[in-house]
């Protein structure tokens, strides 16, 4: 059973494409996660600013929104630490 040079080239090309796809997919997922975190933090910041304008910066409502902003930031930091740990 002889493998011609054409079959070897096709196999190598397929292997290269597969390797590229395996490397790119996690990067795309990471970028999507980063954007979601940024959006979540941005929305929490806007909610805090609205609460401060409407109720005052030391109001119960503003304190709640400040707490929610810190939770959003912490979730993103925690996710980043998990990704860093996975790479080691």
Residues in the chain: 88
User: Quick check: is 40 in a domain?
Assistant: yes
User: Quick check: is 78 in a domain?
Assistant: yes
User: Quick check: is 12 in a domain?
Assistant: no
Q: Which domain holds residue 47?
A: 31-88
pTM: 0.60
Find the Cα–Cα–Cα–Cα dihedral 38, 54, 63, 80, rounded to 10°: 0
Return the pLDDT at 7.
86
User: Quick check: is 69 in a domain?
Assistant: yes
User: Quick check: is 44 in a domain?
Assistant: yes
Q: How far apart are CA 42 and CA 9, in angstroms?
A: 49
Domain count, the chain: 1
- Where b means 16+ CB within 10 Å and e means fewer, 53-80 reads eeeeeeeeebeebbebbeebeeebeeee
- Each residue's pLDDT, cut to its tens digit, for the chain (88 residues) gives 455 678 888 988 888 888 877 776 666 767 788 899 999 999 999 999 999 999 999 999 999 999 999 999 999 988 766 555 455 4
User: Quick check: is 21 in a domain?
Assistant: no
User: Quick check: is 10 in a domain?
Assistant: no
């Amino acid at each position: 059973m002889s493998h011609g040079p054409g079959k070897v080239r096709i196999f190598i090309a397929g292997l290269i494409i597969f390797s590229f796809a395996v490397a790119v997919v996690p990067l795309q997922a990471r970028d999507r996660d980063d954007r979601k975190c940024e959006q979540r933090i941005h929305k929490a910041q806007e909610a805090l600013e609205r609460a401060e304008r409407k109720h005052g910066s030391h109001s119960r409502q503003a304190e709640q929104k400040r707490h929610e902003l810190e939770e959003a930031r912490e979730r993103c930091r925690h996710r980043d630490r998990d990704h860093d740990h996975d790479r080691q």
